[in-house]
Amino acid sequence: MSITLNWGILGAGNISSQFVHDLCLNNEKGNNEIKHIVRSIGSSSKGKGQYFIESNCIKSSNNEDVIPAIQSYDEFFANDQVDVVYIGTPHPLHKDQVIQALENNKHVLCEKPFTINSVDANEIIQLAKKKKRFLMEAVWTRFFPSITLLKEYIFEDKVLGKINRLFVDFAYDADIENLPISSRLRDIKLGGGSLLDIGIYSITYARILLDENVGTDAANFETKSFLTLDNVDKVDYTSSILMKYVDGKQGILTCSNYTDGKEPFLRLEGSIGTLEMWAENPACPKKFKITFKDNTDPIEYEDNSGYNGFIYEADAVAKDIAQKKLENNTMPLSETLLVMEIMDKVRAENGLIYPEDK
Ligand SMILES: NC(=O)C1=CN([C@@H]2O[C@H](COP(=O)(O)OP(=O)(O)OC[C@H]3O[C@@H](n4cnc5c(N)ncnc54)[C@H](OP(=O)(O)O)[C@@H]3O)[C@@H](O)[C@H]2O)C=CC1
Ligand SMILES: O=C1OC[C@@H](O)[C@H](O)[C@H]1O
C-alpha cells in the first residue's frame, strides 16, 4: 500500500530546513511506499518563506508536482490541503501552536522539547485525545535504524551482558557570549538554556539504552542533578544529571553549550562488552561500535543513507496516520510526559524557572 502525507511546515528556520531536506530526498530517491508532500510553509514573512523554498531546493520534481504555498501563521492553520503540521519554532511557542493545529483538525509532529513543562504537555495531550488527532514529540533520535538495531543487541541478544553504566555528553560550543540575548539559546522568554535544548537528548539516550520499555511501561529510576545558572541570562548552559535504575545501573548524563564535546559522545558499559557512539551532532546516532572484553570481533555500524535522519520519524508518522493511530509506539505521549517530568524535577532542584511555570 502506498501512503501520501501532506505536510505543513511551521517556522522557516534551521530545523524546518533540515526536516524538509529529508522529505524531498525521499521523493527524489523514488520511494514508492511513502510520499511526503510539503503543501505549505507557515512563516512570519513571505520573503523568508520564498527563501526557505529556494534554499532548500523544494521543487515540483521532488515534491510530487507541488510548489508549497507560503502562508501567514493564521492562513497556514486553516489550509485544508494539510494533513499534518510540523512545528519547528522556539520551545515556548509549541503549546499554543499545537492547540491551534489541533483545533483546525490537523495531526501534529512537534519539535522537542514538546513544551516548557509537563503541565503544559499534559494539557495538549488531553486536547489531542479529545480531537482524535495524531500527536507526537519529534524525538527523531529514537527512530534511527541504529537505535532499532541497538535495542535488539542490548535487550534481546544481550550482547553487552549485564548493563552497568551509561555516559552521555551532548556538548557544543555555542559561543553564548557572542550571541544576541534575543537568541532562542539565551533568552529565558524563548526557553533558553541547555537542559531543554540538548540535555533532553542525554536523558533520551538513557531512556533508550537503560530501559527496554517506554512511557507507562518504564522501569523505576531516580535522579539527582546540578544546573549552573548564568548570572545574567538566568538560564543553564551546563547541566549534569545522575540517574539510577532500580536494578542498580546508572546514567551519567551531561550537556554544555560552552565547549565542544569529545568523541565518542556516548559509552555504555556492560559486563562483557562496551558500546561507543560517534556523531557530529549527538542527536543523530549514525555510527556505533561494540567491543568485547574477550576480543571477539567488534560490531560496527554506520548510516551512510544521505538523509539527515528526519525521514525515519517522518515515515513513522506517515504509517501511524495511515493506520489511524493517535500516537506512536516508539515515542508515545506517556514517554514525552515522563521526560518532561524529569526535566521539571531537575529545574526545580536547581531553581530554573521559566515564565510558563508561573
Ligand atoms: N530535532 C532537532 O535536532 C532539533 C530541534 N530543534 C528544535 O526546533 C525548534 C526551533 O529551533 P531552530 O530551528 O534551531 O530555531 P530557528 O530560530 O532557526 O527557527 C525558528 C523559526 O521559528 C519562527 N519563529 C516564530 N516566532 C519566533 C520567535 N519569537 N523567535 C524566533 N523564531 C520564531 C521563525 O520562523 P518564521 O520567521 O518563518 O516564522 C524562525 O525561523 C526548537 O524548539 C528546537 O528545540 C532545533 C534544532 C535541532
Ligand atoms: O535539537 C537540537 O540539536 C542540535 C543542537 O545544535 C540544537 O541546538 C538543538 O536544538
What Cα–Cα distance (Å) separates residue 147 from each residue in 88, 155, 207, 330? Answer: 23, 12, 12, 11
| CA-191 nearest atom, ligand 1 | 43
Alpha carbon of residue 168 to chain centroid: 16
Angle at CA 319, nearest 5°, toward 317 and 320? 65
Confirm whether 3-138+311-327 and 141-305+338-357 share one CATH topology.
no
For the chain, the domains span: 3-138+311-327, 141-305+338-357
- Closest among 261, 255, 250, 264 to 209, alpha carbons compared: 250
Contact 288, 146 (CB under 8 A): yes
Structure confidence at residue 32 (pLDDT): 86
Residues 6+ apart with CB under 8 A from 354: 92, 116, 117, 188, 191, 347
**Tens-digit pLDDT profile for the chain (358 aa)?**
799 999 999 999 999 999 999 999 999 999 889 999 999 999 999 999 999 999 999 999 999 999 999 999 999 999 999 999 999 999 999 999 999 999 999 999 999 999 999 999 999 999 999 999 999 999 999 999 999 999 999 999 999 999 999 999 999 999 999 999 999 999 999 999 999 999 999 999 999 999 999 999 999 999 999 999 999 999 999 999 999 999 999 999 999 999 999 999 999 999 999 999 999 999 999 999 999 999 999 999 999 999 999 999 999 999 999 999 999 999 999 999 999 999 999 999 999 999 999 9
Ligand nearest to the CA of 190: 1
| CA-310 nearest atom, ligand 1 | 1
Structure confidence at residue 1 (pLDDT): 75
How far does the centroid of ligand 1 lie from the alpha carbon of residue 243, in Å?
30
Q: What is the pLDDT of residues 187-224, one digit of tens each?
A: 999 999 999 999 999 999 999 999 999 999 999 999 99
For residue 91 and ligand 1, the question of a CB distance below 6 A is answered with: yes
Mutation choice for ligand 2 from 93, 169, 198, CB with most ligand atoms inside 8 A: 198
- 14-28 and 310-322 helices, crossing angle to 10°: 70
For residue 89 and ligand 1, the question of a CB distance below 6 A is answered with: yes
- Closest among 101, 153, 104, 106 to 299, alpha carbons compared: 153
Alpha helix stretches (DSSP H) within the chain = 14-28, 46-55, 73-78, 94-103, 118-131, 145-151, 200-209, 310-322, 333-350
For residue 86 and ligand 1, the question of a CB distance below 6 A is answered with: no
In this structure, which residue's CA is closest to atom 16 in ligand 1?
Answer: 13
Model-level pTM? Answer: 0.98
Ligand nearest to the CA of 279: 2
| CA-283 nearest atom, ligand 2 | 3
For residue 335 and ligand 2, the question of a CB distance below 6 A is answered with: no
CATH superfamily of 141-305+338-357: Dihydrodipicolinate Reductase; domain 2 (3.30.360.10)
In this structure, which residue's CA is closest to atom 5 in ligand 2?
Answer: 198
For residue 61 and ligand 1, the question of a CB distance below 6 A is answered with: no
CATH 3.40.50.720 fits 3-138+311-327, yes or no: yes
For residue 111 and ligand 2, the question of a CB distance below 6 A is answered with: no
In this structure, which residue's CA is closest to atom 8 in ligand 2?
Answer: 197
| Placement of cell 560550543 in the chain | 173
- Closest among 261, 271, 266, 260 to 294, alpha carbons compared: 271
Mutation choice for ligand 2 from 111, 141, 197, 260, CB with most ligand atoms inside 8 A: 197
Structure confidence at residue 31 (pLDDT): 86
